[in-house]
Structure 1
Amino acid sequence: MDASPTEPRRARRRIDRILGPAYLDDLAGRSTDELRRMRDECEEEESGVSFARRMLQGRIDIIRAEALRRQHADGDDDAPRSILDALPSILADDVAATPLRPRVSRFLVPPAAQYHRRDVERLVSERSLAGLEERSPDELAELAQTLGEKESELSKLRRQLLDRLDALQEELARRYRDGRADISEVLPGRG
């Protein structure tokens, strides 16, 4: 059944298909090549969501730093004069003293990030970040809350993608263990 002329046809995004209820149906009946393709597309989408999430986290850090800068600006000679002065320390990677988390995403700007990046830009653009000093404390708090909610949404989305990725990896590993798939097929220069 086609959509009526007044109803726009909704394009189905890859992420919607991946998160759909039928995506993981009958993994045992699918070919190993299909499982690898599904795994690869899950990894690409997860990379896109992770990239957008990092963008959001950076913007949240900038907004919170501006609020903190204002609180400590009175009488604190060490406080940065502007948010621009504080950017290097705000955006610097923290080196954790604890071991790395079990999953470390590769730092890429994958094509799958474009949809989520546009979503982040709609919430707070680079231009609006440049005008943070003109915003009231209430506006900063509201913006930080809105971005925090979006970051939470992306975290849940990422978790769903990782769960699907885990299911695909488990099926592939099972096939390698029981000999139904040959690991040498995926090694460079082999197979």
Structure 2
Amino acid sequence: MTDILNTESMSTAEIRVARAALQSQEDVISFVRRMAQGRCDLARDEQRRRVDGTPASGISVSDIANVFGQEHGGGSSRPPRETNISAEHPLFVELETLCQEISFGELRTLDDQSLENVVQQLSRFEVSQSIERKALFASIDALTTQLVKRYKDDGVNVDSLLAD
């Protein structure tokens, strides 16, 4: 990763490239983090179902919609960007491997202790991604601040902005 503390020695184009690279990393982390969060929400819903005594059935589309409709995160104030994450991306593979190891696909048949382990492992994964994401936001913000400063101090060449 580019040393954002040394932006003074970087050209404006290099700062834009570094910021775009960090934004791409953040896109991946955000996507995979939300997938982990969604899976954790489903596991927590299974725990609630057991406490409520609701009979077990297969997980339906409406079950998933209900779970995701209940959980509300803080979200980001940043504008959304198109996200295309490959199933071969190492972070995506890491989440899928974790889900296999903890038997996420068998939520309804897990004993209570194993189900709690699913919730804990997915929560831990999601929190670690959230921490990484916040660090990336700080770096992206620092690069953006430097770009704004340069645009104000040096003026903006519209053609160079449109080339990005």
Match of 1:60 in 2: 40
What is the Cα-based RMSD across aligned positions, in Å? 3.0
Cα contact 1:63–1:132 (8 A) shared by 2: yes
In the alignment, the residues of structure 2 paired with residue 151 and residue 33 of structure 1 have an alpha-carbon distance, to the nearest angstrom, of 33
- Report sequence identity in percent: 27
How far does the alpha carbon of each residue in 1:74-97 deviate from its partner, in whole angstroms, 9 at most, with x for none?
xxxxx464251322322348689x
Structure 1 residue ranges without an equivalent (≥5): 1-16, 74-78
Match of 1:45 in 2: 25
Cα pair distance change 1:149/1:162, threshold 3 Å: same
Amino acid of the residue matched to residue 90 of structure 1? V
In the alignment, the residues of structure 1 paired with residue 127 and residue 92 of structure 2 have an alpha-carbon distance, to the nearest angstrom, of 15
Q: CA deviation at 1:107?
A: 5.0
Cα contact 2:32–2:91 (8 A) shared by 1: yes
Moved more, 40-49 or 63-72: 63-72
Greater helix share, 1 or 2? Answer: 2
Cα pair distance change 1:113/1:61, threshold 3 Å: farther
Match of 1:151 in 2: 126
SS at match of 1:109: coil
Report 1 or 2 for greater relative contact order, CA contacts < 8 Å, sequence distance ≥ 6: 2
Larger radius of gyration: 1
Cα pair distance change 1:26/1:51, threshold 3 Å: same
Structure 2 residue ranges without an equivalent (≥5): none
Cα contact 2:41–2:71 (8 A) shared by 1: no
Cα pair distance change 1:37/1:111, threshold 3 Å: farther
Q: CA deviation at 1:102?
A: 2.1
Match of 1:9 in 2: none
